[in-house]
Structure 1
Amino acid sequence: MDGTSRAAAFFDLDKTIIATSSATAFSRPFLAEGLLTRRAMLRGAYAQLVFLMGGADEAQTERLRAQLSRMVTGWDTAQVGAIIRQTLHESIDPTVYAEAVTLIGEHHAAGRDVVVVSASGAELVRPIAELVGADDVIASRMEVVDGRYTGHIDRYVYGQEKADAIAELAAERGYELADCYAYSDSITDTPMLEVVGHAFVVNPNGALRRLADERGWGALRFERPVSLRPFATRRSRLAAAGIVGLVVLAAALGWLLGRRHRASGV
């Protein structure tokens, strides 16, 4: 990337950054708070199983979307936001791929922005993106009236819509798409992978691997879901060390200036 152009790395969320589905990861806390019934939770668990086994085609994914839309109709947005914030580490933290966290750090070190792109709602995606250190999100938007979800989706960021949203953000931010990167585990994200200059498939199944071979895309294996707490602790320690260093430096400068002041007799 030259000194005048900007670039970004676009990451799919489910099974790319995290080893699960963000849409169903909060099922237990939603059940505990009375937003979900056990029957709805079981249906969600089955959909999650199909998803994790790689058996969710476009039609099944669309049915899952419709089911989730019906399920959240009438939910209070403030309550949903509070549950997500309170249970984020419990629900998501242990499922984050270490390889994804490392890649995000490498892109930041190279001066690229990191954007999480997901068909899940922005209410779910943004806290997770912040957790892993991403700069922004592209996510679906649910319609809200009087503080409650209506069940209508204002924008469903899926398939071609992901690529369109990436192109829109690139035009807005001045990203050179030829210099941008994209990562996904799903063949339904083919448009997203095609719109950038550097595409990578993650843990690809047979069809996605064949497509990657045909297009010359890279292939990555993410295998280590880890807790982010050690990463956060390490960052905190580094920050603390930096503060201590500044304090020591300030004290040393103060001592040196005081010594010169006394030596001058002023």
Structure 2
Amino acid sequence: MVAAFFDVDGTLTATNVLMPLNWFMKAHLPKWRYWAWSFKLAFWLPIYFVADKIDRQIFVRIFFRQYFGLDAKKVKDWHKEQFEKVTKSLIFAEALEQVRWHQRQEHRIVLVTGGADFIVEPLADWLNADLLASKLEEVGGKFTGKLIGEILVGDGKAKALKDHASKNNIDLKASYAYGDSVSDAPMLACVGNPVAVNPDRRLRQIATEKGWKIVRWR
């Protein structure tokens, strides 16, 4: 079986990990509380930026603490609604065309993301795709802000991809992978057809050195 593995933020969609939380807070907090939360988030942004440059796993662990105490069901239900209202319109046209091309070839579509599973599930369902994503711990119906298990970033993505391929008899040499960040490089290196999509500077350098295909999706 041949598969096509897609990163999500910046590859399939014009989104980033901060956007879904910001949308949720803006929709559910009184205006003054939203602005107070935004001010607090602005304080954290430089820390997130530095953490991301050092190790994206560190950034992901720190960032998802922002979900501490939020009602898990409310957040999940809202993201399902948000997909139809907003997120679907943020899918890159070229990305969707590529997904549909793979489906016509009867390739298995797999989304691989460091984002939380409940954020990406509506997209995966709509695309009829498998989903490999990070998971947030829940206690008493509330998010604790802690991630469960492997964080799907860097080598974690590559490991999840290989495990999924092994369980589903996927031929990695014949398969495809798409990513936009240097943290996606280990995942791209797992397949015979790696594609750097809207690559950051470091991924572009790696892709150029290795002869990987580079594309721009908008």
After TM superposition, the score normalised by the length of structure 1 is: 0.72
Q: Is the 8 A contact 2:51 2:58 kept in 1?
A: no
- Bigger relative CO (Cα 8 Å, ≥ 6 apart): 2
C-alpha change, 1:19 and 1:7, in structure 2 (3 Å) is same
Distance 1:18 1:42 in 2: 26
Distance 1:7 1:102 in 2: 18
Find the partner of 1:152 among 143, 146, 156: 146
Q: Is the 8 A contact 2:20 2:119 kept in 1?
A: no
Distance 2:94 2:44 in 1: 26
| 1:117 paired residue number | 112
Percent of aligned positions with the same letter in both sequences?
A: 28
C-alpha change, 1:45 and 1:129, in structure 2 (3 Å) is farther
Long gaps (5+) in structure 2: none
Find the partner of 2:35 among 38, 49, 52: 38
Q: How does 1:197-208 map to 2 (within 5 A)?
A: 197-208=192-203
Find the partner of 2:133 among 130, 135, 139: 139
Q: Is the 8 A contact 1:184 1:200 kept in 2?
A: yes
CA RMSD of aligned residues (A): 2.7
Distance 1:46 1:90 in 2: 30
Bigger Rg, which one: 1
Long gaps (5+) in structure 1: 1-5, 224-266
Q: Would you say how many aligned residue pairs link Structure 1 and Structure 2?
A: 215
C-alpha change, 1:93 and 1:44, in structure 2 (3 Å) is farther
| 1:249 paired residue number | none
Distance 1:43 1:112 in 2: 44
Distance 1:24 1:150 in 2: 20
Q: How does 1:45-56 map to 2 (within 5 A)?
A: none
| 2:74 paired residue number | 79
After TM superposition, the score normalised by the length of structure 2 is: 0.87
C-alpha change, 1:69 and 1:206, in structure 2 (3 Å) is closer
